[in-house]
Each structure stands twice: as structure tokens, then as C-alpha cells.
Copies of this chain bind each other. A is one copy, B any other.
Amino acid sequence: MSLIVQKFGGTSVADFERIRHVAKRVKKTYDQGNDVVVILSAMAGVTDNLLKMAAQVSDSPDKRELDVLLATGEQTTAALLSMTLKSMNYPARSLLGYQAAVITNHSHGNARIIDIGPDRINSMLNDRTIVIVAGFQGCDKDGNITTLGRGGSDTSAVAIAAALKADVCEIYTDVSGIYTADPNICEKAQKINEISYDEMLNMASLGANVLQIRSVGFAKKYNIPVHVRSSFNEEEGTMVVNENSGMERLVVSAVTHNKDEARITLKKVPDQPGIAAKIFSPISKAGIVIDMIIQNTRPGGETDLTFTVPNADYETALEIEKKVAEKIGAEVVFGDQNIAKVSVIGVGMKNHSGVASTMFNALADENINIIMISTSEIRISCIIEEKYTELAVRVLHTTFGLDKE
């Protein structure tokens, strides 16, 4: 008998039929003798609709009030699932964020969980109640409703699993788990049975579609096994766990790609102290997140500086940098939206030299030019021309022995 936290995403509760399906899934786990805590997202599309409502009354809706509005989405699904289970004669009960004592800081719209009081849930579990918690929401110490940002229900689930010392946190979604590459462009991609928290944290593009990256940090900190699996079948999915010696140890665990990048280059930047701040501060003030930065020193005390931003922010960033270049006396600002990032990820890299050169050679063999490179302890990323993305992913997938039989 275990304590199991099950989180169902928006597509899993998108309509009444699917809510009934979720109820059956929960019932099955409960009938096996487990204690069950369920965390729910809003029905798919509902959060966007609520944002549109807010936009109808205000150009920049008050963040506190927006949280009050958005919280209704998960409140609705929590009530509906509890009703469904009750009508099946199961002892279910919904809790909203504040009722489940999910205490956050005051950052409306992107709040961080600072504490979860497990007493009420534990006492309900002791009565063999199925506890249904509205995800994505909490409250600050003054009792104001807060929300945790996009995908926040994953973080709700993992944080509650941590507070309850749950045996596992199951994340039910519309895919069967984490794959070695995107199956849409690499038909030999396989589901990964087990992956470490650190690898997940480095797999933004492959992972973020199925699991909010912030929740992985939580899972790592409290060592909560996270089971990413499909709500539409009974297959085992991917276990995200602490790195351990028992893991099947491949050098590279997955190949990821991201076409949503754009590159901006400033040439002949004067090599003076504080110049980087002048270039990047206006970008971050505009709320734009920079991914990679490369600096080449030229002879004569000038440098070329290249960085990448999300495609959606490209125009804004380019305008900003044109003004910056004029001010600091840099020569040219030009950019390129037709780029992509391919990455290989694996904790096995730590103990293997030569992964980078294997990667570069594999790309060179296909005449794929590498524009930028960045590395971390367990990841190597290359910026290439966008048109080579699919080819690069397939080649790397084969090169690092990830193809399924």
C-alpha cells in the first residue's frame, strides 16, 4: 500500500467524458489499497479564455485579481472530479489551494511555494478519503490567492508529494513519457524508462512539453520519484529519479532540438569594462530571456558579440540593440531567425571524454555548419541553420546509439 499523488493535465480533463475516465483511473489506484491525492489542471483552453476575459476589462489586468480569476479554472475541475467520484460512491473531497495550505510568496502570476501544511490532507487520507486538490494555485501568508505560472500544476503536484512524503508523483499527460528525441522528426526515437532529475532539467524542449521544469527542481530537492505517463493508456511511462548507479548508463540519453531561437550579432564592440551590461541590461529589462552568448575578440581591442533570444522576441531585441550599437559605437547589428539549437544530453557525459568531438564530427559529416556552441556538465548544444534541424537530430540519435531496434 502506497501514498500516490496523481496529477492530470488540461487535456486529461478537457471534457466530461475525460473527467469520467480520470475518475476510473483514480478509483483503480484507490481500489488497489493505495492512498490517493489527485492534483488537477483546468480544462484545456479554460485558462486562455479567462485571460481573454481579463483583457476585456483591462489592458494590464491587476495581477492579484487575475489570480483570483484564473483560480476558478482548477476550482471547477476539482469540484467536477469530486462529484464524479462521489456519484460512483467513492469518498472524494476537493481542496482549493488555500484549503490544502499551499503557502506561496506574494508574486502573483508566478508565485513560488514556500510551505505546504500537510495536516488536513493527511487527516483526510487517514479516513481513506480521496483528496482532490486544485493545482496551479496557492495563497500567500495574508490569505490572498496566488497562482504558480504556466504548467504550475506540475509544481503543485510535486510539492504536495514532497510535503506528504508520497511514494511517487504520477504526472498524467497526453504523451506516453519522455522520448530520446521528438518522435515526429525521428522515427527511431524510443521512450526513456528512467531519467535523472539533472537530465530532465537540461531537456527544456523535450521535457517542458510534458513537465514544468520548475517541478523537476522540486522533485530533485525532495527526492520524489516522478512518473510521467499517458492518461490514455496503461503503459508505464518515464520515471524521473535521482541519478543512481543502478541506472542503465548511456553516454547520451536524448537528443533535443529547438527551432524557436533567433540570433543577433553586434560587430566591433569596443572592448571596455561594463560594455556587456550596456548591451544586455535593456534586453532583460524588456523581459526577454537570453539563451546563448558568444564573444570573439578581434585584433585591436574590439569584439564581435552574438547571442540568441526566443523567436517571438526577435524584433523587439533587434530594435533595442540597434539603439545600443549606435550609443556604444559598435559597427553593425544583424540577426538571423533561421537557426535552430540541437543538443545532446546525458549524465554519462561526466565520465566520458570525446562526446563533443563525436557530435561535431557527426554534424560535419553531413555538411552541417555549427554557428555557435555552448556546453554544460551534461549537455552540449549547437546552433545550426534551421533547415538542417531534422537531419541533425536523426544523425545524432544514431551516432549516440539511441535508435530503437
Contact = CB atoms under 8 A, between A and B. Distances in A.
B69 A79 contact: yes
Interface SS, A side = helix
- Which of A59, A71, A72, A145 has the largest count of B CB atoms less than 10 A from its CB? A72
Contacts of A143: 99
A53 to B, nearest CB: 7
B72 A57 contact: no
Given A58-B87, A59-B87, A87-B60, A69 B80 contact: yes
A262 interface: no
Nearest to A17: B56
B93 A57 contact: no
Instruction: State the copy count for this chain.
Output: 2
A78 interface: yes
A79 B64 CA distance: 9
Nearest to A93: B64
Interface in A67-97: 68-69, 71-72, 75-76, 78-80, 82-84, 86-87, 93-94, 96
Given A58-B83, A66-B79, A68-B75, 15 more contacts: A19-B57, A20-B57, A57-B80, A61-B86, A61-B87, A62-B83, A62-B86, A62-B87, A64-B93, A65-B93, A65-B94, A71-B75, A72-B75, A75-B75, A96-B145
Interface of A: 16, 19-20, 53-54, 56-62, 64-66, 68-69, 71-72, 75-76, 78-80, 82-84, 86-87, 93-94, 96, 98-99, 143, 145
